[in-house]
Amino acid sequence: MTTQLTLEEQDRELLTRILTQYLGDLKMEIGDTDSRTMRAEMHKDEDAIKSMLERLSSTSSARTAGG
C-alpha cells in the first residue's frame, strides 16, 4: 500500500528534523538493547526512517532544481 502526502516546505523541514532526531535516539537505543528480536525490529525502523529521509531530501532537491 502506498500513501502520498503533500507537505508545505516548512512541514517537510520539520518532519525531516523530527525523523533525524528520532534516528539518533534509535541508534542509541539499538546499542543499549540486549534482545536480538527487538534489535532486529529497530534496525528495520532505522532503515525505513533513512529511506523516508532520502525521499524527503530528494523531494527538496527536485523542487530547488526545478523551481
State the first-to-last Cα distance of the chain, in angstroms, to the nearest integer: 30
Q: Is the pLDDT of residue 67 over 60?
A: no
Can you give the pLDDT at residue 61?
A: 65
Q: From CA 42, how far away is CA 45, in angstroms rounded?
A: 5
pLDDT by residue (tens digit) across 28-62? 999 999 999 999 999 999 999 999 999 999 877 66
Can you give the pLDDT at residue 66?
A: 59
pLDDT by residue (tens digit) across 2-11? 999 899 999 9
59 neighbors 51 (Cβ within 8 angstroms): no
Q: The pTM is what? A: 0.81
